A and B are shown apart, each in its own frame.
Chain A
Amino acid sequence: MSYFSPTSADEAYALVGETGARIIAGCTDFFPALRAGEHHDPIIDLTRIKEFRGITETASGWRIGALTTWTEIVRSDLPPAFRSLQQAGREIGSIQIQNRGTIGGNICNASPAADGVPPLLTLNARVEISSQSGRRELPLQAFIKGVRSVDLNPGEIVSAIHVPQCADDLKSTFHKLGSRTHMVISIAMVAAAIALRDGRIAEARVAVGSCSPVARRLPDFEVRLSGMTPEQVATLEIVANPDLSPLSPITDVRGSASYRLDVVSELCRRAVLAACEGN
């Protein structure tokens, strides 16, 4: 049984190919899921790999290293489109969780209630996957295949998230609904990114989490929003079909399926309006 803490990506690639290797980073999902007597061998701790950490501006947009913690994201100076991601970061668990939990871990854990995912979907985020044999990239929506299921082969590591350049006037917001203030698993959440030009919505991106196995964008709704004024949004009737048709909420201890659909329309309206106002 062994614990490895590689300091470079190349060392990590060599290690993760081993059978049964368990990759860890912030451990905020790893430890809570650990059953009594459960052991992993080997454990590959990525947290010392500098290449996988930090936020940088690139020629095509932004690169967020997979090991970047929520606290680092919250404290970074980023364009307004990232505001929803930063707001989500502030609502993930608690300060304790934000200080350790990483953006890469959040998407690899593939929880339907991952707060980071809806904002990343509105940013058209792409997942950078690295291994000994090279690098591939795919859209976040394609990377998360289902509940606790991601498109990651043995030997591969999520090394970064790429966010393509977006308009400077794309402003975003994140609304989370839970039964208490802190440390709460979302009943539903909405991220909206809106560019308002000449008083009308020129670009709209809306994503909903906790209402389907994987958080989803709402393409029909986004099309409907296009060209609307905020006043029109305020009185807009958001309907289950087609606006919310990608969603398939379940009933659980946090709320019923019908409740989720019901409040999501209200949360969508509020998030879009708040994004229109730039906050």
Chain B
Amino acid sequence: MDSVPLSSNVRFRLNGQDVETTVGAGERLSETLRERLGARDVKVGCNAGDCGACSVLLNDETVCACLVMTQQAEGQQVETVSGLVHDDPVAKGLAESFQDHGAAQCGICTPGMIVSATALLRRNDTPDEDAVMNALGGVLCRCTGYRKIIDAVMKAPSHLAHGGNAGAAIRRLDGRDKVAGVEKFGDDVAPPGTLEIRVIRAPYPRTAFRFGDLDAWLSRNDGMEAVLTAADVPGRNCFGVIPEFADQPVFAEEAARFRGEAVAAVVGTPEAIRAFDPGTFPVEWTELESALTVTEARAEAAPLLHEGRDGNLMCRGFVSCGDAQGALRIADITVEGAFRSGFVEHAYIEPESGYAELVDGRVEIHACTQAPVMDLEAMEIILGVDRSQIRIVPTGVGGGFGSKLDISVQPYLALGALKTGKPVRIAYSRTESMQSSTKRHPSELKVKIGATGDGRISGMEFSGAFNTGAYASWGPTVANRVPVHASGPYRTADYRAEAHAVHTNCPPAGAFRGFGVPQSAIAQETLFDELAERLGIDPLEFRVMNALEDGVPTVCGQVFEQGVGIKACLEALRADWRMERESAEAFNAAQTGSLRRGVGIAAGWYGCGNTSLPNPSTIRAGVRADGTVVLHQGAMDIGQGANTVITQIFATVLGIDARRIERLGPDTDITPDAGKTSASRQTFVSGNAARLCGEALRATILRHVNAAQTAELEFGNGRVRISGDGEVHEIALRELVRDEFGYVFCAEETYNPPTRPLDENGQGHPYAQFGYAAQMAVVEVDEALGTVKPVRFAAAHDVGKAINPMLIEGQVHGGIAQGMGMALMEEYLPGRTENLHDYLIPTVGDVPPITTYILEIADAHGPYGAKGLGEHVLVPTAPSILNAITHATGVRMRSVPVTPSKLREAIKGKNNDG
């Protein structure tokens, strides 16, 4: 009999090599590969077969390694992405093609994608789109919107540029490691056998708790080395991204305020943690009455979440100009509505994870993050030590989208390392990640907009309540941003908008691509369609008529004399819009069944950088004695492409090819603070710092030999060659003095965008620049089932200057996919959709072709005129889909997600009325 006892040897072929290892009974193949055989290229995103990141080939067939028991692989052949890309010509080709198309952004899904595509191409080397979708349908990607991946697998022609300067579509400079499975993400750093941390979390939305005898528990449990609670926090048991609102404990004390909140953590050997059932931890819970919605939390008898925040009101944002009420009174028509949206989960495929160790008495934290220096500042307070005692070394980030701005695993890692004196690691399970990380704010909006008979906006009133969850996180930012943006990019002279952030016993709502603006755009942009319809004006032309222009004040009274690109965006879509509207109407006229086509348009704007607050970036660069140019690139690349874009800007100014520059990452010991990757600020703000730094470095070198400004630089072999105006200089670098960083030439520059504070009416200069966007959605609605299938998008984005057009398209595609998810399928319900099969995000089969129009209305403040883009890309998506649904069916959906169930009910309601 082939019976195998608990710890037994398993033999199989891994990437062409015979391997033998000891495994525990019931061990997942993914764990064996990663922890016993060093195959960290196999990524774990869900441990449930929902994300496909761990896909490997088992005897030529794609499987989720998390769903295979290692013993089942005995005698079989296993191939992972690193082996395939190294040895298999099909996979090698895919690795190149993925880079040529920008098909890997953060790269966490890339191993699963390449493995799945290899299995397909081995059987069928010219697959059609359906075959590709079918083969990749089991791998989720949250960054790319899948279209570039489809192109890469189908070997569509790529449009790479030859040079590497600003404006050129070049491959990502960090792409090679992503496609080869070599990039190290948060859970890929720790050596096998490292002590692991498991967090104990509150099972109820609000609960009191009492620990039993923790010391006794610890001594009873072999392999458990420490228990961590609030008592172990040496500094303040409190963190928060906005210092004046900091309110979140590392470990709750006495009572927890949301389901999933940490109350303790255990540290143990991998074996002990694997055997650990959190239900056996000595803690007694007493569920308390909770408030889960804004209405519940605002009720008089509601439990108060935080002292000093009466009525659970955390903060308020307000903008007012002109006389909104008066303008609405005299408007020829007005429209109004109440709108709602739910929690949206970021659903990056990499759960929060990291590693920490003590080195020479200092704590070093390796973890995925969007904001290393903010992590450092938070840890300084939590640990109660000087920041010189802490080092943050960001790992690769498998998607962030706002949520990895807040600290997550960092305190547990630091406390675990300090208490045990040993290296420790942690990786959240998918459910932990979903329960405890921040979400997009649910919104309840009341909006009224008026217009004159000839189609000019005449007054707008906006009032929004945002469920900000148990802790502040970025709630204040949402409350401030929304009133500034809720008018949309339109001339709105009479305006009043207020937003409230209200605490509830839900997970903290924080930053998610757009900071509340996607929610407010849904209300404003769908009401604009209603106005246009009532006025008998084409929806696109109505928007063009009202679009902001150079010299026209925004609702904050800010006047941009240049760079206002919204009209250009709308006009760029005009031809597609007319064609698609006509074609939809013809399609519907010919229909005998229940399918209806609709075409919708929506626009958006987004201010780049912090709202009226300083947000400087610093970039350092140097030249080593051997002639290597080194860029300290501190702008976290979370997949969006900062590593490439910032380097392109710097290289262009310096005058060399971006691909020749050596990059050092945002390790807080070696690289200055380039601020957080947030608010669509990196290309604009860090890009400017890189530009200034490049200029300074170039000037220093030119000054050294008094060369002309236009001189050309060549670095290498211990020399810089400077040629121009018929003169050639050479500097022998090894003869020069080296500075503290080891550089013979060095420059460091800071850029901080010029803003002015908002007054009590929200008047001021909140941002130095806005970016602008318009998108068109074409959908097919099956009226009998209530299903909506987007069949095409066209997107026009004013980016000022496209530093890398391929990466721009990647942002647009990814934003549209997330906007689609928000519009049609995504709602996080605590306790009910805490995994990736109940919480649905779009798959490769859901995202239709996208046409991207890149417009370059240069901005005076942007590097080479560039504007931010990361968040603009999903602002218009959901409203464009809602407007398309209305065009197709005549029903107006004011609550997202528009699930088939909800839409069908609305369609039936319309039919009954009619």
Contacts and interface: CB of A to CB of B under 8 A. Distances in A.
Interface of A: 1-7, 11, 24, 26-28, 30-32, 35-41, 43, 45, 47-48, 71, 90, 93-97, 99-100, 177, 179-185, 187, 253-256, 258-259, 262-263, 266-267
Contacts of A254: 899, 901
Contacts of A180: 825, 840, 842-843, 845-846
Nearest to B116: A95
Contacts of A182: 133-134, 137-138, 843-845
B1 interface: yes
B785 A96 contact: no
Given A1-B25, A6-B1, A180-B845, 12 more contacts: A1-B6, A28-B67, A31-B49, A31-B66, A39-B275, A41-B25, A95-B116, A177-B900, A179-B824, A259-B900, A263-B785, A263-B904
Interface in B782-797: 784-787
Contacts, number: 185
B780 to A, nearest CB: 13
A2 B4 contact: yes
B67 A183 contact: no
A96 B55 contact: yes
A37 B49 contact: no
Kindly list the 5 A-B residue pairs having the minimum CB-CB distance in the complex, ordered from nearest. Answer: A94-B138, A181-B845, A37-B277, A182-B137, A255-B901
Contacts of A41: 25
Interface residues of B, number: 71
A104 to B, nearest CB: 16
A95 B135 contact: yes
B726 interface: no
A238 to B, nearest CB: 12
B825 A48 contact: no
Given A95-B116, A100-B68, A181-B845, A255 B899 contact: yes
B740 to A, nearest CB: 48
Interface in B881-914: 899-901, 904-905, 908
B305 interface: no
A95 to B, nearest CB: 5
B298 to A, nearest CB: 26
A27 B67 contact: yes
Contact of A259 (B8, B52, B843, B901): B901
Contact of B901 (A3, A24, A90, A256): A256
Contacts of B837: 32, 183, 185
A6 B3 contact: yes
A184 B824 CA distance: 14
Interface in B1-54: 1-6, 8, 25-26, 28, 47-50, 52
B904 A95 contact: no
A45 B68 contact: no
Contacts of B25: 1-3, 39, 41, 43
B87 interface: no
Interface of B: 1-6, 8, 25-26, 28, 47-50, 52, 55, 58, 61-64, 66-69, 71-72, 74, 116, 119, 133-135, 137-140, 198, 274-280, 429, 594, 784-787, 824-825, 827, 829, 832-833, 837-838, 840, 842-846, 899-901, 904-905, 908
B69 A45 contact: yes
Nearest to A98: B138
B277 A179 contact: no
Given A183-B137, A255-B900, A266-B784, A4 B905 contact: no
A177 B49 contact: no
Contacts of B6: 1-3
A181 B274 CA distance: 35
Contacts of B137: 94-95, 181-183
A26 B908 CA distance: 42
Contacts of B280: 37
Interface centre among A39, A179, A255 (most CB of B within 10 A): A179
A95 B1 contact: no
Given A253-B833, A266-B785, A96 B52 contact: yes
